[in-house]
Amino acid sequence: MLDLLPSRSDSAAANMAADFLLLKRYPARDHARFRAYGWHRPAFSFGYSQKIAWVRSALPSDAEGAELVRRPTGGGLVDHRDDWTYALVLPRGHALEAARALDSYRAVHAALAGALRACGQPAALKDRCEKPAEGENCSAAAGPSVCFTRPELFDVIHPDTGQKIAGAAQKRTKDGLLFQGSVLRTSAPRIHDWDTFHGAFASALAETLALPAAETPWPDFAEGELDALTEHYASPEWREAR
């Protein structure tokens, strides 16, 4: 089953905590789960392995006062002030969870691109990399980057202009796969109803995962567990760790 969880908005730290708990503590281990969410305040997130000095140097000049949070997944710096954000969790043992990182990245983004097209927005996958500059890598998990400044392999792009529309980051653990993704609204101007897109994407994911989809209430985490993990993601120790 693909559990479609209700959309929620929260602080940056609480959003990261909820995504990670959906991976670690979800009671139905044979279910995948999907959610879209918003942000209480302007926010930026950055990948688990990024150096905080680089992150601060890459923030735009108008980012003062925005929340800044380190994700449990990889990837670069993401501006969430005008994006549509989602998380997908696949349980241990699902075929896509066991696939190579590039294969799971491509499969989820192919579903997303199909949903965009179904809603009238031209979209395709970036299926090749230009020759990287000296010292750069060519992969969806390459080193420090500001998301949406350039597309990586299998990102979602506009087929005519090459402009990046969507990117994501992944984390695999003994519990499964966490996929955190972002769609830049300004890069998808033909999407006027994001609730309709949400439904189209959920249907495309269900087909990709070969799982029936059903709306599902939020799980009951252990008492205080979400609050404690939110404090962890909000702490300077976590944010400044590298």
Residue with tokens 């680089």: 54
Position 129 scores a pLDDT of 74
Is residue 168 pLDDT above 70, yes or no?
yes
Position 48 scores a pLDDT of 96
Position 131 scores a pLDDT of 60
Position 139 scores a pLDDT of 47
Residue-wise pLDDT for 208-231, tens only, equals 999 999 999 999 888 999 999 999
Is residue 86 pLDDT above 80, yes or no?
yes
- Report the percent of the chain where pLDDT is more than 70: 91
Position 142 scores a pLDDT of 46
Helix/strand/coil (H/E/C) assignment for every residue in the chain:
CEEECCCEEECHHHHHHHHHHHHHCCCCCCCEEEEEEEECCCEEEECCCCCHHHHHHHCCHHHCCCEEEECCCCCCEEECCCEEEEEEEEECCCCCCCCCHHHHHHHHHHHHHHHHHHCCCCCEECCCCCCCCCCCCCCCCCCCCECCCCCCCCCEECCCCCCEEEEEEEEEECCEEEEEEEEEHHHCCCCCCHHHHHHHHHHHHHHHHCCCEEECCCCCCCCCHHHHHHHHHHCHHHHCCC
* Closest C-alpha among 40, 42, 41, 45 to residue 62: 42
Tokens standing for residue 184: 């830049």
Give the β-pairing of 67-70 and 43-46. Answer: parallel
CA–CA separation, 18 and 146 (whole Å): 24
- Report the percent of the chain where pLDDT is more than 90: 84
Map out the domains of the chain with their CATH numbers: 2-58+68-126+142-239 (3.30.930.10)
Q: Mean pLDDT over all residues of the chain?
A: 92
Tokens standing for residue 180: 């955190």
Please compute the mean of the pLDDT values over residues 144-156 and round it to a whole number.
Answer: 77
Give the model's confidence band at 141: pLDDT under 50 very low, under 70 low, under 90 confident, else very high. very low
Lowest mean pLDDT among 7-11, 46-50, 147-151, 217-221: 147-151
Is residue 180 pLDDT above 80, yes or no?
yes
